[in-house]
């Protein structure tokens, strides 16, 4: 991390994501190390942890939680989890629990408990003064009744909600989100763009003052990475260049991944290679 900070002094935030970060037993220790360097630490989570875990993480300096939630309804929750390859995302204890419950025809109870636990952890984190947001992906019109229930719950709890378009669903997803926002008679109050990233968002305010955010992707590519990528030409590039993803691989080395869709020497490299790469120089040029 220190080598990254030397070349990117503007680096001020680390966001844990991918898989389920709270399953990492080292998360509190890693957080404490990062906060000691003066970095702000955030995580995306499915909220499947305990109040004790939450307290430990917050004491270590993890004070910002983006809770991903697919549905409040156990039936829909189950469908989305199965469709998204739930088994792949689960760790071993959960897999055993899942297999055991499946045998007893208890999938639905499993889904109910997942939803209940996540909502309880959102309330608890909010009560403890953490920065809490709910993220929900809207794939299309078919999701809008789930989206509405999540919206009503978030509004009642006073927790900010962010609607994310489904990168794989293209305009169907974007149009469904716009349709939903129109139905709320919300007013656009702010557009935000992250410099040097494809991240952007629009903030909408409802008549009662509650605000919700539509988080989107804009067309922003790294010339040094995307120059020869066929997806740049055929329109199938989904996320563009979003940010630096650092991952510790099984070989013990840190790797930098700059693109979710294409894995090659231009987008996937060891940290040492990244520190000497034209991609880093280009990223630095946007931050000056």
DSSP-derived 3-state class of residue 226: helix
- Give me the helix-helix angle, 51-60 and 107-127, nearest 10°: 40
Q: Cβ closer to ligand SF4: 185 or 234?
A: 234
Beta carbon of residue 259, minimum distance to ligand SF4 (angstroms, whole number) = 3
Contact pattern from residue 237 through residue 256 relative to ligand SF4, giving x for each residue in contact according to CB under 6 A and a dash for the rest: x--xx---------------
| 225 in Cβ contact with 268 (< 8 Å) | no
Q: Considering the complex, what minimum distance in angstroms separates the CB of residue 151 from ligand SF4?
A: 31
CB of 269 to ligand SF4, least distance (A): 13
> Whose Cβ is closer to ligand SF4: residue 124's or residue 262's?
262
Contacts for 243-252: CB closer than 8 Å, 24+ residues apart: 243/197, 243/199, 244/4, 244/274, 244/283, 245/18, 246/4, 246/271, 247/18
What tokens does 105 get? 């025809």
Judged by beta carbon, residue 253 or residue 263, the one nearer ligand SF4 is 263
Nearer to ligand SF4, 56 or 221 (CB): 221
Q: At its nearest, how many Å lie between ligand SF4 and the CB of residue 265?
A: 11
> Segment contacting ligand SF4 (CB under 6 A): 2-10, 72-80, 209-217, 259-267?
259-267
Q: Is 253 exposed, middle or buried (0-12, 13-18, 19+ CB in 10 A)?
A: exposed
Site residue total, ligand SF4 (CB under 6 A):
13
How many Å apart are CA 74 and CA 84, to the nearest integer?
Answer: 15
| Smallest gap from residue 266 Cβ to ligand SF4 (A) | 7
User: From the centroid of its chain, how far is CA 259?
Assistant: 15
Q: Which residues are CB-neighbours of 44 under 8 A, at least 6 positions away?
A: 15, 16, 17, 21, 66, 67, 68, 135
- Is 53 a binding residue for ligand SF4 by CB under 6 A? The answer is no
| 77, 49 contact by CB (below 8 A) | no
78 contacts ligand SF4 (rule: CB under 6 A): no
Residue with tokens 């931050």: 287
- For the bound state, the minimum distance from the C-beta of residue 246 to ligand SF4, rounded and expressed in Å, comes to 17
For the segment 105-134, give every residue that binds ligand SF4 (CB under 6 A): none
Query: Binding ligand SF4 by CB under 6 A: which of 259, 269, 280, 283?
Result: 259
* Contact window for ligand SF4 (CB under 6 A) among 123-131, 209-217, 228-236, 280-288: 228-236
Nearer to ligand SF4, 15 or 231 (CB): 231
Residues 163-222 that bind ligand SF4 (CB under 6 A): 221
196's tokens: 């040097």
Can residue 262 be called a binding residue for ligand SF4 (CB under 6 A)?
Answer: yes
- The smaller minimum CB distance to ligand SF4, of residues 56 and 231, is found at 231
Select 215 or 221, whichever has its Cβ closest to ligand SF4: 221
Cα 76 from Cα 60, distance rounded (Å): 35
Beta strands in the chain (DSSP E): 13-16, 40-45, 64-68, 131-138, 161-165, 187-193, 199-205, 211-217, 245-248, 254-257, 268-270
The residues of the shown chain that bind ligand SF4, judged by CB under 6 A, are 221, 225-226, 229, 231-232, 237, 240-241, 259, 261-262, 267
């Amino acid at each position: 991390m220190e080598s990254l900070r030397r070349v990117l002094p503007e680096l001020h935030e680390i966001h844990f994501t991918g898989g389920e970060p709270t399953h990492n037993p080292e998360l509190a220790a890693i957080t404490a190390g990062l906060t000691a360097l003066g970095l702000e630490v955030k995580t995306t989570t499915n909220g499947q942890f305990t109040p004790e875990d939450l307290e430990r993480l917050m004491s270590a300096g993890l004070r910002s939680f983006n809770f991903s939630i697919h549905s409040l309804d156990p039936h829909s929750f189950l469908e989305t989890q199965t469709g998204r390859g739930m088994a792949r995302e689960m760790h071993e204890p959960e897999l055993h629990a899942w297999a055991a419950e499946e045998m007893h025809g208890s999938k639905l109870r499993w889904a109910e408990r997942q939803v209940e636990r996540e909502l309880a952890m959102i309330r608890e984190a909010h009560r403890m003064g953490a920065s809490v947001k709910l993220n929900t992906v809207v794939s299309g019109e078919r999701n809008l009744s789930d989206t509405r229930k999540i919206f009503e719950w978030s509004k009642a709890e006073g927790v900010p909600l962010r609607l994310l378009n489904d990168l794989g669903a293209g305009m169907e997803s974007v149009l469904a989100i716009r349709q939903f926002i129109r139905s709320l008679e919300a007013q656009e109050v702010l557009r935000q763009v992250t410099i040097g990233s494809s991240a952007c968002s629009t903030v909408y305010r409802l008549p009662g003052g509650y605000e919700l955010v539509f988080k989107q992707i804009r067309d922003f590519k790294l010339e040094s990475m995307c120059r020869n990528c066929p997806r740049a030409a055929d329109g199938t590039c989904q996320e563009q260049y979003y940010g630096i993803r650092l991952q510790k691989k099984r070989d013990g080395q840190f790797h930098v991944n700059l693109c979710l869709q294409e894995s090659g020497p231009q987008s996937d490299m060891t940290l040492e290679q990244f520190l000497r790469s034209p991609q880093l120089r280009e990223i630095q040029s946007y931050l000056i």
